[in-house]
Amino acid sequence: MDFFGYKRADGSIGVRNYLIVIPSVFCANHVAKQIAANVPNAVCLTHSVGCSQVGEDLEQTARTLKNLATHPNVGGVLIVGLGCERFTVQEFYEAVRENGKIVEKVVIQDVGDSIKAIAEGTEKLQKLKMEVNKYKRHKVEISNLTIGLECGGTDATSGFAANPAIGKTSDLLIEAGGSSVFSETTELLGAEHILKRRCINDKVASSMLESVKKTESELALSTSKERYKHRSDLISTGNFDGGVSTVVEKALGNIHKTGTSPIVGAIKFAEKLKVKGLNFMDTPGQDGESTTGLVAGGAQIILFTTGRGTPTGFPIAPVLKITGNNDTYEKMELNIDINAGRIVLGETDIDNMGKYILDNVIEVASGKKTKAEILGHEELFNIPRVLNYCGK
């Protein structure tokens, strides 16, 4: 199986060819947005981090931003910095350049003010665009694909239709030499012992279980105070309404999206995959944060299951929406790409739906737009904090 993608200098393959503007710090967001607005089809990745951070908190931000800027779906990068941030423009710039990516930078304090920075940045971005437009699609093997597995707005059908279907898709891709990544550590609670059996060795199992244990401890601490009991449910009101009663029940349905392949790696948030196959990434359960981690880790396409329905998308990676609920599909057909509710209706089975989803993945990888892309949804970009620190 093949698809048509963009060959990058580091050997990776992109399914899109984005020209991005990315601030090194939140202080540069407005200038970055104005620069991107001046150049058609440029994408701006604004965020709320880059300063007032230390230790692992700052390291996670740096890793996430670097890996997004060097993502296979990105053809060229303009970095916009303020000039006094902890995650320096120079560190960011050097990391992107070493990857072989076409990159330029603008530092607001060096240029003089916002207006001058916007003018300089626009000129540089126009030149970058001419270089990025030179990339053309080439026929490549499907083994170059990595998919991220995400579940949001869960209902009962997610666990027995949509998630098992993308689990089959994941297995088929891995059999063909590709990779997939699952995350959402909070949504493994109560089912981690099942996943442990599929880990290829004790090191991978221990790393995954340690992430679950840490998350469980943090959740226990956060929900221990009596005055917050009304805000301590570990699943959403939408999950309850959709027929999911407990976090364990949700986890037992959630893990079906991992298919049956062995788990070959366990990595940190936004860390790039070290080995091909099925990998676990330690992320929060919030859709935007987990999806950001998956994309920063190298996933070119996200498979997003949703029983209740969600319209969200990601700025630099196609998000393919799959629902196991036929009613949700009919209500939100403009947002949902694939109706796995046909499994529930008896019109198809999990194996055939998994193959159908893979066919759609190949089409999207070759350029077909997902519904989230068509409608311009980009809400899933969100970099989490490791800790809150007040110093500067």
CA proximity to 154, closest of 259, 294, 310: 310
Give kind and range of the element (H or E) at residue 128.
Answer: helix 114-132
- Band the pLDDT of 245: cuts 50, 70, 90: low
Decide which of 100, 132, 164 is a domain's last residue. 132
Same domain, 204 and 304: yes
Asked if residue 29 and residue 153 are part of one domain, the reply reads: no
The yes-or-no verdict on residue 226 having pLDDT over 60 is: yes
Mean of all residue pLDDT scores within the chain:
92
Predicted confidence (pLDDT) at residue 238 exceeds the cutoff of 70 = no
Is residue 388's pLDDT more than 50? no
Q: What is the pLDDT of residue 233?
A: 58
Question: SS3 for 103?
Answer: strand
Give me Rg for the CA atoms of the chain: 21
In this predicted structure, the answer to whether residue 392 has a pLDDT above a threshold of 50 is no
In this structure, the dihedral spanned by the alpha carbons of residues 70, 72, 77 and 82, taken in order and rounded to 10 degrees, is -40
User: What gap in Å lies between CA 19 and CA 43, rounded to an integer?
Assistant: 6
Judge whether residue 390 has pLDDT over 50: no
Is residue 199 a contact partner of residue 263, using CB atoms and an 8 Å limit? yes
Lowest-confidence range among 18-27, 63-72, 185-194, 332-341? 185-194
Boundary (domain end) residue, out of 132, 155, 178: 132
Regarding pTM above 0.75, the answer is yes
Q: What percent of the chain has pLDDT over 70?
A: 92
Q: Cα separation of 212 and 286, whole Å? A: 15
Q: Are 13 and 5 in contact (CB under 8 A)?
A: yes
Range of the domain at 260: 140-375
Number of domains the chain contains:
2
Statement to judge: residues 170 and 113 lie in one domain: no
DSSP string, 343-370: HHTTSS-HHHHHHHHHHHHHHHHTTPPP
pLDDT computed for residue 222 by the predictor: 73
